[in-house]
Chains A and B, each alone.
Chain A
């Protein structure tokens, strides 16, 4: 007991520690680079080619691997651990080796037209229930989709409203309205996508659709004709095509700094016209109008015996104007553009 001094005890403890650690210490010239996040280790030490002979190659490689793995495991065991469901788990830090991505980073999508409006007005999204009670069928049905609660196209009886045309087909009217709503929804969705990706969509009539009117086809032909480098100047006409006369600017403005005296005169004339109480009379226009009216009267006098042709002619004009309205909106454009 007397021979055991303080230093001896300390030395013995150190020796014991060294013994313990002998199993796991590996001596290397250069320290390894570790990336515990990826369970990666990199050994920069020079490999002695003398030991790398054919017969001893596998053993050399195995011992090298054993040393490196021991160092890596030492590093991993230094990490903080925790117990997750009776299993000892080491928490890994973020990996330090930079690996390239698979796909480019996603760009934030610009808000759609509705989202912009909702943000402006401060409208919040309300969480809605999945099922709605349907009084008619007395059961819970979904809010939208197949067999939904309030589907007005599936009604078996529709009362004809008082101000409606008796020969109108009410069921067909509802079906048509639904088709138009679907087409408009699809159109708006595609427009949102085009706006998000900044693709320029051609105006009305130039995107191909199944049924195009004569005027739209003519417009498309004209646009195609002037889409050359020399703006269609050297394009030949089709067999029966006439070059439209009114190409170019429709309104002609005087240059900003031109003839001062003529500009002054023009302004004064304008003021004189505005001042005068009498309405202006365009003599040529008035004369032409008078001549036309006289022609019409003479024609009517001659055709009175033939019948009521005049009235029918007037009706056809009205029908055409009415038919163009709904057609202009509810068409479904098929967009086949897009960059690859």
Chain B
């Protein structure tokens, strides 16, 4: 696919910009996600997909029509969609008798499936049912994971990484302190994952840091872990490989001290201090045959000055 983009030249500047935005870059921007409905989906699943779409609004694509896709058997259709819409995260919802209210969270690397986790919805409270005001679109949420399973179990670790990838917003260098409004809390307990979403209220406390109060908001899910497809270790490692230009190169022999001054270090060879070349002072130069008469001459000068 990349070869075709080089051979087929863009005819307008707009199309050239579009193609450039889809090329791989050194530092990547935000990942966009596609939300797809399966062949058969229940009311719960449809509402759940709409709620997640609302959470991820600017960088998500909601596919309106139903697609007969089985991600665990054949992922070529998903890969085709991802190539067309340039999305690397996906959420696939379906419903059948064997697996009711099924959601599959997944991510792609180079338009091939990297990880997929199938979670079943046991209990779901939608955005509509909770009557509080929500925070504006596109706020970066605070993510909290609780439960020792997220640390000990390998599958849970990978799921934690996937959920971070899915729900963390754009990579920012600074955040407005008053704008931390949304928190997503994931709890892992006995093979089930409880996802809750709260609105953060910053109350006055005695000192600078505010006291937190939470208000129920947004969708809340009770997930149960079903199948999963995790990437092999070497594929996972390849996906993490960073290009060379990203890390700033450390300059050697330069340090900063406590006052902020920049100190450098020079490495010299060993020097013989007797043979050091210093400033030449003509008067101090040793002349031939002068050593005996120096004292006399000095005497002579002082004599004349007193004159």
Show the binding face of A for B, using Cβ within 8 Å.
19-24, 37-47, 49, 52, 58, 61-62, 64-66, 68-70, 72-74, 76-77, 81-82, 84, 87-92, 95, 97-106, 189-190, 193, 196-197, 199, 335, 338-340
Contact = CB atoms under 8 A, between A and B. Distances in A.
B140 A39 contact: yes
27 contacts: A20-B205, A23-B205, A39-B142, A39-B180, A40-B145, A42-B146, A42-B151, A43-B147, A49-B189, A61-B187, A62-B196, A62-B216, A65-B144, A65-B183, A66-B213, A69-B214, A81-B177, A89-B175, A90-B175, A99-B164, A100-B165, A101-B239, A101-B241, A104-B24, A104-B241, A105-B242, A199-B3
Interface string B16-51: 000000011110100100000000000000000000
Which of B23, B114, B185 neighbours the largest number of chain A CB atoms within 10 Å of its CB?
A: B185
Say whether chain B's binding surface is mostly helix, strand, loop, or mixed.
mixed
Given A39-B180, A44-B151, A100-B114, A105 B243 contact: yes
A90 B179 CA distance: 11
B77 interface: no
B25 A106 contact: yes
B212 A69 contact: yes
Given A43-B147, A105-B243, A106-B24, A97 B161 contact: yes
Contacts of A38: 143, 164, 168
Contacts of B171: 37, 95
B236 A76 contact: no
A42 B148 CA distance: 9
Contacts of A76: 175, 177, 180
Contacts of B185: 61, 64-65, 68-69
B174 A68 contact: no
Given A62-B198, A64-B146, A335-B7, A40 B164 contact: yes
A106 B142 contact: no
A42 B145 contact: yes
B223 interface: no
Contact of A340 (B1, B143, B194, B206): B1
A19 B206 contact: yes
B23 to A, nearest CB: 7
Contacts of B145: 40-43
A260 B293 CA distance: 93
B206 A23 contact: yes
B284 interface: no
Given A72-B144, A102-B31, A335-B7, A21 B241 contact: no
Nearest to A97: B164
B242 A69 contact: no
Nearest to B30: A102
Which of A64, A65, A97 neighbours the largest number of chain B CB atoms within 10 Å of its CB?
A: A65
Given A62-B196, A77-B177, 10 more contacts: A23-B211, A40-B143, A40-B164, A64-B185, A73-B142, A73-B200, A73-B210, A91-B173, A98-B240, A190-B7
A43 B146 contact: yes
Contact of A42 (B150, B165, B214): B150
Given A193-B7, A338-B4, A39 B143 contact: yes
B133 interface: no
Contact of B165 (A24, A46, A99): A99
B206 A20 contact: yes
B209 A74 contact: yes
Contacts of B110: 103-104
Contacts of A102: 24, 28, 31, 88, 108-109
Contacts of A101: 28, 109, 239-242
Interface residues of B, number: 72
Contacts of A190: 7
A339 B161 CA distance: 33
B172 interface: yes
Interface in B138-160: 140-148, 150-151, 160
Contacts of B211: 23-24, 70
Contacts of B206: 19-23
Contacts of A40: 142-145, 164, 168
B95 interface: no
B168 A20 contact: no
Given A20-B207, A61-B194, A104 B142 contact: no
B56 interface: no
A197 B178 CA distance: 50
A105 B109 CA distance: 11
Contacts of A20: 205-207
Which are the 9 A-B pairs with shortest beta-carbon distances? A20-B206, A105-B243, A100-B239, A23-B205, A103-B24, A338-B3, A65-B185, A43-B146, A102-B88
A100 B107 contact: yes
B142 A41 contact: yes
B305 interface: no
A108 to B, nearest CB: 9
Interface string B162-202: 00110010011111111010010101011000101010101
A254 B151 CA distance: 75
Contacts of B144: 40-43, 65, 68-69, 72
Contacts of B88: 102-103
Which of A47, A92, A100 neighbours the largest number of chain B CB atoms within 10 Å of its CB?
A: A100
A337 B146 CA distance: 52
Contacts of B141: 39
A88 B177 contact: yes
A140 B197 CA distance: 61
